[in-house]
Amino acid sequence: MAKITYEKPIVEMQGDEMTRVLWDWIKEILIEPKVALKTEYYDLGLVCRDETDDRVTFEAGEAIKRLGVGVKCATITPNNQRKEEYNLKRLYPSPNGTIRAILDGTVFRTPILVKGITPYIPTWTAPITIARHAYGDVYKATDVLVNDACKAELVVTKTNGEVEKYPVHDFKGAGVLQGMHNTDKSITAFARSCFNFALSAKQDLWLGTKDTISKVYDGRFKAIFADLYENEFKSAYEKAGIKYEYTLIDDCVARIIRSNGGMVWACKNYDGDVMSDMLATAYGSLAMMSSVLVSPDGNYEYEAAHGTVTRHYYKYRAGEETSTNPVATIFAWSGALRKRGESENNTALMQFADDLERATVQTIESGYMTGDLALLFKAEGITPKKLNSRDFLNAIAERL
Ligand code: NAP
Ligand code: MG
């Protein structure tokens, strides 16, 4: 059978440790037999990052800007222990941080659902995607410890030298104080990524903030989202039959819990930090969480939400078999291939992405899975069989 082809290459970013091993197996067993892969390859493994003084990471980010679609393997963010282990020239920053800064993007995390692994909230039958605004607020704030009685003010100095002062608090004794900010540019980029993502997923977009209390600050998020919706996205949303909704964050949380899922939830930085861990846990497993970085101008970088699974890698290196879950990495590949298919109106490629995801889900649902899932799996009449990573990939390939 002829392999599926496409025009524009996908940016392929190889990574580290166990996920680096899975990466090659996924290509060999699941993708290359059916698709004539055309990628621009960047090795973001720690060895190559060190050899190139991290230039390779910047080049990969620029390549995503140029080619529009990328797929990334998990990578080590080095600490001092890694510096010694890999004999590094210096402590390189997180590749995800570098690429996010180049693309100015927002990260969307979506759980992969299978029958037999029931969320802690059983009514969540469709995935909830969290979009976390990854700039500013308490993550870039100035904290001050106040030791004694004092008058605290916010001071704003304009470019023309004019000074404005705003009262914060008259301290009668010790306490704490915090100054934080965000920018219209960053909030707008976040909003645009969210509107684009929800439109492409054909799901409703929700935004929740506390604008009743934080009238100016949270009010700015609400206003920027509302403006963008009215001026740029409304007619496309109406045509797609989806909605944009703003609610107070407390009401939003209550409604999410009561819902069946199936929406994109835009969160301010802190809310997204907290809620994404809650969602990942509630849906079952970090190894079943997919992740995509979307830039405001519509470039996509797909990856798994988990790390390089170091403990399994050390076992693998010692010659032992491991049962490491490749599902989120498979979905990173299917996401990138589908997106490339969409951009070229390539039905065969989009169909392959759908088939690959369905074969993966059905393999698990029929009782064949990796060890982490076998611990969670419960379905009447099916005893879960724990496979090693390669056998699991082969089982998917057979079904595919
Ligand atoms: P991790 O690699 O996600 O693994 C933590 C633990 O979760 C594993 O030891 C394993 O538990 C379980 N797990 C995660 N993914 C799994 C999978 N696919 N299949 C089976 N079990 C899985 O996180 P970490 O150990 O904190 O970090 C390891 C390295 O990854 C670090 O160097 C870090 O810098 C990097 N990291 C990269 C990214 C990224 O590139 N996006 C994200 C996070 C971390 P058991 O050992 O109990 O089986
Ligand atoms: Mg967190």
Cα 228 to the chain's mean position, in Å?
23
Q: Which residues of 210-242 are buried (b: 16+ CB within 10 A; e: fewer)?
A: bbeeeeebbebbbebbeebbeeebeeebeeeeb
- The atom of ligand 1 lying closest to the CA of 306 is 3
Among 283, 306, 334, which residue terminates a domain? 283
Assess contact for 301 and 70: CB atoms under 8 A: yes
Residue 61: left if φ>0, alpha if ψ -120 to 50, beta else—which one? alpha
The alpha carbon of 68 and the centre of ligand 1 are apart by a number of angstroms equal to: 27
Residue 237 has pLDDT above 80, yes or no: yes
Residues 40 and 66 both lie in one domain: yes
Q: Does the pLDDT value for residue 319 go beyond 90?
A: yes
- What's the 269 CA to ligand 2 centre distance in angstroms? 10
Domain match, 245 and 356 both: no
Tell whether 292 is covered by a domain: no
Q: Are 171 and 144 in contact (CB under 8 A)?
A: no
Compute the distance from residue 307 Cα to the ligand 1 centre, in Å.
4
Q: Give the chain's largest Cα–Cα span.
A: 80
Does one domain contain both 2 and 89?
yes
Q: How confident is the model at residue 140 (pLDDT cuts 50, 70, 90)?
A: confident
* DSSP states of 216-230: THHHHHHHHHHHHII
First CA to last CA distance, the chain: 14
Does pLDDT of 330 surpass 90? yes
Cβ count within 10 A of residue 132: 22
**Domain-terminating residue out of 252, 283, 314:** 283
The DSSP symbol for 236 reads H
Asked whether residue 290 is assigned to any structural domain, the reply reads no
Q: What range does the domain containing 50 cover?
A: 1-113+298-400
Same domain, 58 and 4: yes
pLDDT at 277: 83
246: CATH = 3.40.718.10
Look at residue 103 in the predicted model and tell me its pLDDT.
87
The closest ligand to the CA of 269 turns out to be 2
Shortest-distance atom of ligand 1 to CA 19: 18
Gap between the Cα atoms of 142 and 286, Å rounded: 32
**Do 153 and 133 share a structural domain?**
no
- Residue 186 DSSP symbol: H
Q: Is 1 a residue whose pLDDT tops 80?
A: no
The fraction of the chain above a pLDDT of 90, given in percent, is 88
CA 274 to chain centre: 14
Q: Is 291 contained in some domain?
A: no
Domain assignment of residue 324, yes or no: yes
Helices within the chain (DSSP H only): 17-26, 46-51, 55-67, 80-85, 95-103, 184-201, 217-228, 234-240, 249-258, 269-283, 310-317, 327-343, 347-365, 371-374, 389-399
Domain end (from 221, 255, 283): 283
Residues 186, 210 share a domain: yes
Asked whether residue 162 falls in the same domain as residue 220, the answer is no
Q: Averaged over 361-390, what is the pLDDT?
A: 96
Per-residue model confidence (pLDDT) at position 112: 94
389 or 281, higher pLDDT: 389
Q: Tell whether 386 is covered by a domain.
A: yes
Q: Which of the four pLDDT bands, split at 50, 70 and 90, describes residue 201?
A: very high
Q: Model confidence over 162-194: pLDDT tens digits?
A: 999 999 999 999 999 999 999 999 999 999 999
In a domain, 293, yes or no: no
Same domain? For 265 and 203 the reply is: yes
59: nearest Cα among 127, 121, 8, 11: 11
Same domain membership, residue 337 and residue 252: no
| Ligand 2 ion local residues (Cβ < 5 A) | 273, 277
Average pLDDT of span 218-231:
98
Q: Do residue 156 and residue 168 come from a single domain? A: yes
Q: Which atom of ligand 1 is nearest to the CA of 75?
A: 40
**What is the tens place of the pLDDT at every residue in 109-138?**
999 999 999 888 989 999 999 999 988 899
- Structural domain includes residue 65: yes
For ligand 1, which residues put their CB under 6 angstroms from it?
A: 74-77, 96, 286-287, 303, 306-311, 324-325, 372
Which residues touch 251 (CB under 8 Å, ≥6 apart)?
208
Please tell me whether residues 150 and 187 are part of one structural domain: no
- In the chain, the amino acid numbered 161 is G
316 shares a domain with 261: no
Q: Report the predicted TM-score, pTM, of the whole model to 2 decimal places.
A: 0.89
What distance in Å separates the CA atoms of residue 343 and residue 340, rounded to the nearest whole number?
5
Q: What is the pLDDT of residue 101?
A: 84
DSSP state of 138: G
Number of domains in the chain: 3
**289 located within any domain:** no
Q: Give the residue, by CA position, lying nearest to ligand 1 atom 4.
A: 309
259 vs 63, 123, 253, 256, 290, CA distance in Å? 39, 7, 10, 5, 21
